[in-house]
Structure 1
Amino acid sequence: MKLALNEQAQQLPILALGAWFKHASCLLETDGAAFGPNLGDLDNADACRRVAPAAEALIAQAGGPLRAIAHDLHPDFHSTRVATELAARLGVPAIGVQHHHAHVGAVLAEHGRFNARPVLGLALDGVGLGTDGEAWGGELLWVAGSEFVRLGHLRPLHLPGGDRAAREPWRMAAALLHACGRGDEIPHRFAHQPAAAMLGHVLARPALSPATSSLGRHFDAAAGLLGICEVMQMEAEAAIALEQLASRASAPAVARTDWQLKTRSTADGGATQGVQPETPPKGITLELDLHPLLLRLADEHDAVRGAARFQATLAAALADWVAAGRQLTGCDTVVLSGGCLHNRLLSEALHASLPASSLQVLGARQLSPGDAGLALGQAWVAMHHLAAKET
């Protein structure tokens, strides 16, 4: 991939090792970016064994000594371990990059935006470790080079049974019902699921039901509530089925009551509003609550109509969220990133609606919006990190 990087030559080359899903390393140099092979998910020994050799092959083709090696914040990823071991051996910094910060950086790099001008980043995916140790995945960020602020997030859903809930959409549907005071419906609504009778007890125990802001899990909850998919046999099966059903119906009228945008003051105080884009906003969190939409789906008997309502309302709610972020920050550019942007209906709706607010909209073009292109964003952030240390 050809990129104009001459002004950043002193911070390059940088190697980045991606994350867990759809792993591919990336070498960022002054004349462009080169990706290693996509090794798939690092959930098996064969894929893990190939990470270090693929990284070494990229190092061998670098035009000079590496300046740094970037990696995901998650300490248990095999890619993180390889990155830190390589960095120690080569005597260069290992730079951890928050997952969604990297998603935004990847799109900016693809568009040739290598300056640190602040932008809004809408990062929508299944999961990425946040700086607070929680599972993020529906994030509105303020991004300026190596800096980012979590402006907002989706109202969290709980994951009953932890990672298992990411494979069984009925559990996410049950989590929504429980959160809305309708947990007594779980045993009979999902009577054919052996764990349904006890899931309320699981949801009552935070250690067994960690919270997540993931948009991917909201798709799962919608599919579970509509009876489209209760247990997945392949990745993103529920979200794909939801999109396919929605495409069979005309977009319904959107009800503004199907979401809530809540502005909260955070613990650090000193909230600032309407600031210049160059100034990081402080003390305010914009929480987008999609529980009303999901609760409406719980009472919907037509799955096609429900799927169409979910898609149309989600796009409208996200656009409303971005508009609030723009008012808070003054940013005039929004970056759309994350695996949920593989959803064509959602991506097209956002690209159509956001420019009407006089926002420049940047999305993935040749690269995947998901984790396959993540390493480029890690390298982009690491480059700015080195530049900031040298000023």
Structure 2
Amino acid sequence: MNEVWIDDLPLPAGPPVLALGAHFQAAVCVAGPRVARLSPPLVDLDSAQACDSLRAQALDGLRRLAGQAVAVQAIAHDAHPDFPSTALARQLAAERGVPAWAVQHHHAHLAAVWAEHAMPEPAPHLVGLALDGFGLGTDGQAWGGELLHLHGPRAHRLGHLSPLPLPGGDAASREPWRLAAAALHRLGRRDQALAHAVAHGPAGMAEPLLHLLDRGWRCPPSTSLGRLFDAAASLLGLCHRQTHPAAAAQALEAAALRHGPCPPLPGGWQRHRPANQPEQLDFGPLLAHLADATDPLAGAACFQATVAEGLALWLMGAAAQVGTGAVALGGGCLHNRLLRSALHDRLSRAGLRCLLPQRLPPGDAAIAYGQAVVARLVLAYH
């Protein structure tokens, strides 16, 4: 693990703040009078040792501010109430008599990308896609495929991927066969979903899983692009159980690279807007195509190309809608090189300024920096 703090990250003007990141790859960002410093990320906060390390980094950050003869004015954290980083932020804020501010996960992703480019504007006015595995949304649901409009210190949700049920909750993120079965069930292919669960799940699990999907029990919805990748990988027979969180997505990318470029699937997605709700981008037609595919390499290449094209056109429409020429891409799914390059090329050809992570990674290691940026903007606007 890199033990070096990242120095001289650009920031909008404002008072000093401290930010403590999320859960995975948690880090501490110290936003001083002019620039920010970001600590080395931790692997996660699942152990007492990791939580102690985060506290040590936070106290170190506060000492660094004190060494500049400035006092912290706010402590920012993820909006998830159960993260250890959230509890620590609230404790430190109470001890110092300053506010603890929750920053929505995907807002922080895109704010980090905007600020890293040191744009001359004093505050963001852009649209962006935040694409990852999980972040708690403002509605209390699992987000991860989000179309957001950043304007000043605020983020407005313009749209999201159509939700996919997670049968068994968190277990679905570890076992993509569950997500493939959920996708088939959502497509109205119950018999095919049952057969997939029988073939790839533990003995005796198929019927109970379909029972959950039939009744909507223990099947929280997720708009995550990461979970869509998982479902696709299992439908194509590339990954049914994950040895690490990105195994399915990496298997898909590797298969697509082996196949080579292919065109997007015509009609591979649909857009619709439920009453009084944000617009949804639905890749159901693409998943139906993958369920019938006989060549997993061709299916993976088709998936990559279709998702990139659908997302790019969606973002281009949003940029025109809000009147901006700048778009941002953030979140852990941008580790996928094919998705990242396809989106950047398509958006650039459309004449948009496409902002991508540069010095910082696209995933959660940069969340603390984005939180600090948002907190600074909130303080400046108040």
Which TM-score band applies after superposition, normalised by the shorter structure?
over 0.9
Counterparts of 1:89-168 in structure 2 under 5 Å?
89-113=95-119, 115-168=122-175
**Aligned-partner SS, 1:138:** strand
Equivalent residue for 2:28? 25
Cα distance change of structure 1 residues 263 and 186 upon mapping to structure 2, 3 Å threshold: closer
Query: Partners in 2 of 1:291 and 1:157 — Cα distance?
Result: 10
Equivalent residue for 1:53? 56
Query: Partners in 1 of 2:357 and 2:251 — Cα distance?
Result: 23
Residue-pair matches, total: 369
The letter of the residue matching 2:122 is: N
Q: 1:380 is matched with which residue: 355, 369, 373?
A: 373
Q: Does 1:211 align with 2:221?
A: yes
What TM-score do the two structures reach when normalised by structure 2? 0.94
Pairwise CA distance, 1:233: 1.0
Query: Partners in 2 of 1:117 and 1:56 — Cα distance?
Result: 30
Pairwise CA distance, 1:240: 0.4
Structure 1 runs (4+) greater than 4 angstroms displaced: none
Pairwise CA distance, 1:170: 0.5
Q: Which runs of 5+ in 1 are unaligned?
A: 268-284
Q: 1:41 is matched with which residue: 38, 44, 48?
A: 44
Residues 106-158 of structure 1: CA deviation (Å, up to 9, x unaligned): 11111113622410011000010000001000000000131111000000000
Q: 2:109–2:370: 8 Å Cα contact kept in structure 1?
A: yes
Q: 2:112–2:367: 8 Å Cα contact kept in structure 1?
A: yes
Query: Partners in 2 of 1:164 and 1:158 — Cα distance?
Result: 12
Q: 2:110–2:130: 8 Å Cα contact kept in structure 1?
A: yes
Counterparts of 1:1-391 in structure 2 under 5 Å?
1-5=7-11, 8=13, 11-62=14-65, 63=68, 64-113=70-119, 115-192=122-199, 193-194=201-202, 195-266=205-276, 285-389=278-382
Query: Partners in 2 of 1:236 and 1:201 — Cα distance?
Result: 28
Query: Partners in 2 of 1:320 and 1:36 — Cα distance?
Result: 36
**Aligned-partner SS, 1:258:** coil
Query: Partners in 2 of 1:318 and 1:207 — Cα distance?
Result: 30
The letter of the residue matching 1:33 is: A
Residues 314-349 of structure 1: CA deviation (Å, up to 9, x unaligned): 100001111221232112110000000000000000
Query: Partners in 2 of 1:24 and 1:205 — Cα distance?
Result: 40
RMSD (Å), alpha carbons: 1.4
Q: 1:36–1:55: 8 Å Cα contact kept in structure 2?
A: no
**Aligned-partner SS, 1:191:** helix
Q: Which runs of 5+ in 2 are unaligned?
A: 1-6
Pairwise CA distance, 1:295: 1.1
Q: 2:265–2:302: 8 Å Cα contact kept in structure 1?
A: no
Cα distance change of structure 1 residues 331 and 264 upon mapping to structure 2, 3 Å threshold: farther
**Aligned-partner SS, 2:127:** strand
Residues 79-124 of structure 1: CA deviation (Å, up to 9, x unaligned): 0000000000011111100000000011111111362241001100
Pairwise CA distance, 1:185: 1.6
Cα distance change of structure 1 residues 248 and 4 upon mapping to structure 2, 3 Å threshold: closer
Equivalent residue for 1:270? none
Q: State which drifts further: 328-337 or 110-119.
A: 110-119
**Aligned-partner SS, 2:71:** coil
Q: 1:120–1:331: 8 Å Cα contact kept in structure 2?
A: yes
Q: 1:141–1:148: 8 Å Cα contact kept in structure 2?
A: yes
